[in-house]
Amino acid sequence: MRLRMLFERGSRLAGAARCWRLIVTREEWRDSAENIAAAGGRLVSMWASREITGGDVVHAAFAANAGLLQIDLPLSSGAYYPGLEGLFPAAERMQRAIWDLSGLRTTGADTRPWLRHTAWPETFHPLSDPHAPPPGPATLENYPFVRVEGDGVHEIAVGPVHAGTIEPGHFRFSVVGEKVLKLEERLGFTHKGIERRFAELPLSEGHRLAARICGDSAVAFSWAYCQAYEGLCDASIPPQAAWLRALALEYERISNHLGDLGSLGNDAGFAFGLAQFTRLKEQLLRVGAEAFAERYLMSYIVPGGVRFEPSSASLQLIGRTVESIAAEVEALRTIYDEHAGLRDRFVGAGVVDPQLATRLGLIGLAGRASGRAYDLRVDQPCEPYNGLAPKKMVYDEGDVAARVAIRFDEIKESARLVRILLKHMPQTAQRIDLPTPPAGASGVGFIEGWRGPVFIALQAGADGVIHRCHPHDPSWQNWPVLEHAIIGDIVPDFPLINKSFNLSYSGHDL
């Protein structure tokens, strides 16, 4: 009942379906978060902004059965805001990032830098004045990792530079023999200043940067941005544009799942799997290049719709290719399921049981493998998913095997959705022009990417420019859970467990 009252007090927030906004006092901030947590709500994101009219505001977005609720807490100069890490553990790193970027301090105990990495002095906060020139790098600091003491305990430091062609991240293992007692991550090495860069762009160009936040989620981020922008303008895109966006999103989902299944087989010593799934992914990307004019769709989703409608021949080719790939994937699934070596490596490795997943806020693909039955395409659908009846794929085992099974299931389900999208594609315009929204207008985008829910909060400035844009990748929630998933396993299993989550560095290190 208390949660329902919070939604009823809120005002409608533009953009994604079923979203509300509530401005609270300092006392109500904590009380509201407690009510949301007690009702099983999920933390989506936390960020801060400096309002057009002046003054700092800290924001938190939560997802519940009723929809999405954004709670805003205006702060007086120099005031601390109550930390939420005791209710939502994922909040801790978000609060550290708020300090690094905006200079707003929480009551939380962990005050170590998260994104700064001495790229700028501790006294400089890039988003407190997005037009101030950044000073030079600061003096190198010693980052205080949490130490584990005891007989036979030693540390293994991995990264931030890795042997493979992957992005940088530091992993500090505390082990006895090869068994992991604790893992502590340090990320932020790919920080690109994206949130500050958004404030230098017109609203009509922000989708281009959004698509480049995380290359494997270009469709999800650009759609979320455009959804928020279109909400600011109170505009509805043509039906065909919505269907083509969904087609592009399922294309992106299938492509990433194919790549992951190959890499997971390879990490378990099954090179045949890597060869076959890499071949299938390449087939799909080549068809994408013909249909959408690019392999990774960083330019296809645009404000008001999509760039163009693929030719009838290209759409038919997509359909045939997806059907062929889905059939081969089913055959490869039988091989994966019956391969004793893969079963030995997958089953029971990197377990996150449903209780732990709920407590830590695990979301997306990894969450559904641990009993967290949440998928925006079903629970908070936008057009056209509210008419497609997509199916959730959920397991309770929470191990590598479950995260592999989710990928197989979702490829099959995405292939089914692609068939429906191609068969019933409406014939309308593909794009509309958008008016200039009023300064100060706020909206959100909320899209289920292949990794999990992608969120964007957007605020318009004067004369059609972006005042503030905050993008959020689901990796923010899931990186801390990976630290728990490895406990009790051995160090050589970490690459496999890590790949089964396949979290983003780039989407996290904004």
Rounded CA gap, 344 and 339, in Å? 9
Which residue stretches of the chain have pLDDT < 70?
A: 1
Q: Give the residue from 472, 474, 475, 509 showing the smallest Cα distance to 119.
A: 509
pLDDT of residue 131: 74
pLDDT of residue 348: 96
CB atoms closer than 10 angstroms to residue 198 = 27
Residue 15: beta bridge partners? Answer: 444
pLDDT of residue 1: 47
CB atoms closer than 10 angstroms to residue 2 = 12
* Angle (nearest 5°) at CA 382 between 301 and 250: 55
Q: Is the Cα dihedral 441, 201, 471, 101 positive or negative?
A: negative
* Angle (nearest 5°) at CA 283 between 279 and 287: 165
pTM for the full model? 0.96
User: Residues 6 or more apart from 241 whose CB is under 8 A from it?
Assistant: 304, 305, 306, 428, 429, 430, 431
Element (H, E) at 365: helix 364-368
Cα-based torsion angle of the residue sequence 170, 176, 179, 180 in order, rounded to the nearest 10 degrees: -30
What is the DSSP track for 252-316?
HHHHHHHHHHHHHHHHTT-HHHHHHHHHHHHHHHHHHHHHHSSSS-SSSEETTEES-PPPHHHHH
The SS3 assignment for 232 reads helix
Q: CB–CB of 380/63 below 8 Å?
A: yes
Domains within the chain, CATH numbers bracketed? 2-102 (3.30.460.80), 152-190+473-510 (3.30.390)
Residue 71 φ then ψ, to 5°: -110, 125
pLDDT of residue 52: 86
- How confident is the model over 337-379, as pLDDT tens digits? 999 999 999 999 999 999 999 999 999 999 999 999 999 999 9
Q: CB–CB of 121/138 below 8 Å?
A: yes
Is the N-terminal amide bond of 160 cis, ω within 30° of 0? yes
Element (H, E) at 19: strand 19-23
* Angle (nearest 5°) at CA 196 between 192 and 202: 115
Q: Looking up tokens 């493998």, which residue turns up?
A: 369
Rounded CA gap, 505 and 192, in Å? 11
Q: Mutual orientation of helices 91-102 and 475-485 as an angle, nearest 10°?
A: 130
